[in-house]
Amino acid sequence: MTKILTTTLVGLLITSLVMSSSSWALGPDLDTDSKTPIKHVVVIFQENISYDHYFGTYPNAAGFTAKPNTPSSNNYISHPNLLTANPNLANPFLLSASQAITCDFDHGYLDEQKAYDGGLADKFVQFTGKTGTNCKPDGSTVMAYYDGSVVTGLWNIAQNFAMSDNSFSTMWGPSTPGAINLISGQTFGATEGAVGGGSAISDADPIYDDCSAGTTIAMSGKNIGDLLNDKGITWGWFQGGFTPTATSGGKAVCGATTHRTATDNAAVGAYSAHHEPFEYYNSTANIHHLPPASLAEIGHNGQANHQYDLSLFYAAVNNGNLPAVTFLKAPRAQDGHPGNSDPLDEQVFLANVTNTLENSPDWSSTAEFILYDDSDGWYDHAVPPLVNHSNDPLNDFAPTCGDKKAGLGGADDRCGYGPRQPLLVVSPYAKSNFISHDVSDQSSVLKFIEDNWHTGSIPDTLGQKSFDDKAGSLDSMFDFDNHGSTPKVCISPTTGQVVPPSGGLCPST
């Protein structure tokens, strides 16, 4: 019933927006004021995957034929002893498509630090491993990985575009810090409810969201939305399940569900409040999940305040109204998060978004970034560089995070970088079949947006700097001299295989 109600509401919303779009008076279009040929950035922010978990044996997998001259990656292929003599209590092992659904793991700020054990990376089973449905009773499933027989779509994207094997979570810990670092590089300045002297390290929900529950926090300071607004650059965050299914006591109710259509058809609650970082900031929140007044409002100031349901992303693309900067959050069944999602259902989402963008007239000036909010605790052998020390005796593990305050202004509980995660760039300007070894983190995407639209950096918050101050460049993944000649590649949402376009268009489901 909830799914039917939600579908009806979204359909009515889009119809009404199309009818009213001509009534919206727009200001001057400043989206072309960019440093690079990229006029549209689309950031797909997925959930809870480490690099080795998806790319541990890239590009080698049974039934997967890699392109000639595929570059080597820092993974199990270049360090084969990790598969046979791993320092953890179990060796990494391969999961099949029939094992796509697993349990969720421990990815807390402190426990992840302990798993890396001061650089030894040998305590994953003890500190991030968990047991439960679809996981081994000894906790060793945390060491498992998929290869190109399951994460076929992502491997084919990597084959045809650019990928990094040296990109990290900005900090240790779960989704909330990862999401906030993506848009501000700054977890300091959280209100009561955060732990660690004002730095957000838990999965507390945003205070400016009707659909939040339990502990909530607010963030002070500015985020990239504020900077884009100051420059008059269009932008938006689009998230599955954002449209309310009802109201109660004047508050929005987020009861939408989506199904894991690629696996077991289970219904999963679509919306997660702590996956929506702009709702932590009063300046960019849409507390009651109001829709835009029209399709033409999307990307501009209005009653939705740049926060939208995911369905409106597709409507905006089809209406020729893709904002300059777009953030996409899949419904929970398709975001890759173990326990809610899986790599096969995630592939459906990633392929549909990528194919939709490639079918768009805006594709010639678009860069799509695919990255993740945290590692879920999955094993990854690469020890992150320590760029910001922290010595909170309650929340930090000294061998991993250092024994003195240093780095970004000295605030505790911002220890980083955290675990390594996938980062891919899909664009006509992306290098093809390329792996960057340059150090980057989640805030590197933030830095790319800042530089591309000349917004300036995130201002200090209460004397503390944003991680954008140290963010590594992503420029090596692009070739801006190739005149956007990297060809489109259509990805099948169901198989992940490269497929030819039909009638000039890539498929979608």
For every residue of 466-502, which 3-state class applies, written as one string? Answer: CHHHCCCCCHHHECCCCCCCCCCCEECCCCCCEECCE
Is residue 195 scored above 70 in pLDDT? Answer: no
Q: Is the pTM of this model over 0.85?
A: yes
Decide: 175 and 275 in contact? Cβ < 8 Å.
yes
- Domains of the chain are 36-499 (3.40.720.10)
Section 216-227 average pLDDT: 96
DSSP state of 388: B
Note the pLDDT of residue 411. Answer: 80
Section 322-348 average pLDDT: 98
| Distance between CA atoms of residues 267 and 246, nearest Å | 18
- Tell me phi and psi for residue 447, to 5 degrees: -65, -40
Is residue 316 scored above 90 in pLDDT? Answer: yes
Is residue 21 scored above 50 in pLDDT? Answer: no
At 91-114, the pLDDT tens digits run 999 999 999 999 999 999 999 999
Note the pLDDT of residue 25. Answer: 37
Is residue 3 scored above 60 in pLDDT? Answer: no
Q: What is the largest CA-CA distance in the chain?
A: 66
Note the pLDDT of residue 198. Answer: 77
DSSP state of 119: G
At 349-392, the pLDDT tens digits run 999 999 999 999 999 999 999 999 999 999 999 999 999 999 88
Decide: 476 and 439 in contact? Cβ < 8 Å.
no
At 255-292, the pLDDT tens digits run 999 999 999 999 999 999 999 999 999 999 999 999 99
pLDDT grade for 210, boundaries at 50, 70 and 90: very high
Is residue 26 scored above 70 in pLDDT? Answer: no
Instruction: Locate all alpha helices (DSSP H) within 117-197, ordered by sequence.
Output: 124-127, 152-160, 175-184
Mean of all residue pLDDT scores within the chain: 92
Note the pLDDT of residue 7. Answer: 43
Note the pLDDT of residue 194. Answer: 58
